[in-house]
Structure 1
Amino acid sequence: MLLVSGGAAVAGMLVAGRASALPAVDMEMVLLAAQVDPPKDGTGTTSGAAAHVLEVERALQAKGLLAADAVDGHYGTSTIAAYAAWQRSLGYSGIDANGIPGATSLAKLGSGRFTVTRTVSAGSRTSTYGGKRVDGRTGDMLAAADAMLSWNLTLDQGSYSTSDPTSAGTHDGGGVVDVSVGSLSSTQRWETVRALRTVGFAAWLRTPSQGSWPYHIHAVAVSDPDLAKPAADQVHDYYFGKNGLANHAPDDTPSAYRAAFTWWEKYARS
């Protein structure tokens, strides 16, 4: 009996050892690459993300969804398409098959291949902020930014919305809001931009001279898993110091109101 018990214990230790030997995939880094990499010219990787993206790509290749020559640590359009196919194979559709990993699909992809660390969730899709629909993660971010200001954030438009054709599809998924600033002074508008950026939004002050809209702040929650493609592309622009508009011009935010690139989970840990 002692030998049997000892053998079972050793077998359990071996199984545990194999599990602990699996590589760890940092979901925060994979999400960052999934936003920053696709619009790039070429196949450059995102700092700190390549090793984690490689594990995801190897798993997609093993599923027959990604060609071997696309397993390169660059989360480009081929990887987006392959991951979207993986999501669809799990029965997902719409924004749930956007090619950006969600915690559940990533864990299933990694079964037996890698473990997932620093998971990110959009939270409830039926949350509201100031009467506008947002996901839970975005609501938490807005509350944190609101607390930094002596005036209240008021939203013109929330997320999961297709009602405004001037938004070019950025609001179709989660993580995107427009903040009303018509009643604010110029300084207050810029301070609002800075507060939103500080908690992890890619945020810009929009002006009537840029398009057919009133003054407002457009904000995209960096690394929200529910981002629509046009919104994810705006994170790419923000990462590289651009304005998130179709002309991809340099960000015109005054230096005093800029903030270091971050995302909600990283900010919350600081």
Structure 2
Amino acid sequence: MTFRSWVTTAAAVALLVPAGGAAASAADLPTVNMEATVKAAQIDPRRADHTLTPGAKASVLAVEKALQAKKLLAAQWVDGYFGTETVAAYAKYQASLGYTGLAANGLPGKTSLTTLGAGRFTVTNPLAPGAKLTRDGVTVNARTNSMLAEAQRRLGRTLVLEQGSYNPGGDPSSAGTHDGGGVVDISVTGMSAATRTAVAKGLREVGFAAWVRNPSQGDWPWHIHAAAINDTDLSSQAQHQTGDYYLGKNGLANRAADDGPKVTIHTWEEYQRLQ
């Protein structure tokens, strides 16, 4: 090896060596389960206590330690609980990368999480909303579209969207839930009460937080509102809805008890692994 080659190689290795430590390969680094981390980021801020999201503690701790190292999160919040302080710190980190809007919503995205983990952790179970597309004249992302297609297959009926995603200010009564991705309103025209409930159940089974909405609850007609759990493009308001769903609430501002059909809650990715 020439001296020049040796210097180049040594410099490359040095970039991978933490101060005072030995070089670590990717295999030596801890892992962060992105699915579990994003789930915790939706549920934990809505809890009345500091109960940890099952299966997420180690991953959340790794993320929090990385945010602390960047002086974005105080040591007292490095606890495995992805609460409001951690969400705010992660949003600041996303902004530091130049992200804005939905890309800086405090939910870890695949690119930002991988960048945060450089030299610290590797990312497993990655999530991505996919490309935007048009369905029934409204916008959804590829992940949401796949979930709807599977719900249709299971239900044996076509679902027609009244409102899609990425629709900021499109319907003031939606309170911002449709500003980001993963959220749709489904027409119930021609459906009986039993069918409406069956459709909401079918949507829940594939990974949506879904409820039948009626005019007595707000300034809207009968419809089914559905938010895709773990969609990393969820608006802050939709994040709150999916978190409340896990906590047995109705996804409305009053945070009353869930009034929808009972199912075992799964994300879309969890559902697919069960098939």
Fold equivalence (TM over 0.5): yes
- Which residue of structure 2 aligns with residue 206 of structure 1? 213
Q: Is the 8 A contact 1:128 1:139 kept in 2?
A: no
- Which residue of structure 2 aligns with residue 57 of structure 1? 64
Matched, 1:113 2:117: no
Deviations 1:130-154 (A, max 9, x none): 2210011111101110111232100
Unaligned runs of 5+ in 1: 2-7
Query: Residues of 2 paired with 1:32 and 1:50: CA distance?
Result: 11
Distance 1:199 1:17, change over 3 A: same
Which of 140, 143, 162 aligns to 1:134? It is: 140
TM-score under structure 2 length normalisation: 0.89
* RMSD across aligned positions (CA): 1.7
Map 1:16-165; keep pairs closer than 5 Å: 18-124=25-131, 126-161=132-167, 162-165=169-172
Shift of 1:16: 8.7
Q: Is the 8 A contact 1:159 1:175 kept in 2?
A: yes
Which of 161, 169, 174 aligns to 2:176? It is: 169
- Which residue of structure 2 aligns with residue 244 of structure 1? 251
Shift of 1:116: 0.2
Shift of 1:186: 1.2
Q: Which one-letter code corresponds to 2:251 in the other structure?
A: G
Query: Residues of 1 paired with 2:265 and 2:230: CA distance?
Result: 12
Query: Residues of 1 paired with 2:161 and 2:220: CA distance?
Result: 14
Query: Residues of 2 paired with 1:149 and 1:26: CA distance?
Result: 31
Unaligned runs of 5+ in 2: 2-8
Shift of 1:39: 2.0
Show structure 1 runs of 4+ deviating over 4 A.
14-17
- Which residue of structure 1 aligns with residue 264 of structure 2? 260
- Which residue of structure 2 aligns with residue 192 of structure 1? 199
Query: Residues of 2 paired with 1:169 and 1:237: CA distance?
Result: 16
Distance 1:245 1:48, change over 3 A: same
Q: Which one-letter code corresponds to 1:158 in the other structure?
A: G
Query: Residues of 1 paired with 2:181 and 2:104: CA distance?
Result: 13
Q: Which one-letter code corresponds to 2:134 in the other structure?
A: T
- Which deviates further from its counterpart, 14-23 or 28-37? 14-23
Query: Residues of 1 paired with 2:86 and 2:175: CA distance?
Result: 23
Q: Is the 8 A contact 1:61 1:67 kept in 2?
A: yes
SS of the residue corresponding to residue 144 of structure 2 reads helix
Shift of 1:18: 3.2
Q: Which one-letter code corresponds to 1:140 in the other structure?
A: S
Q: Is the 8 A contact 1:204 1:219 kept in 2?
A: yes
Map 1:211-250; keep pairs closer than 5 Å: 211-250=218-257
Corresponding residue pairs, total: 256
Q: Which one-letter code corresponds to 2:150 in the other structure?
A: A
Deviations 1:168-195 (A, max 9, x none): 0000000000001022111111110011
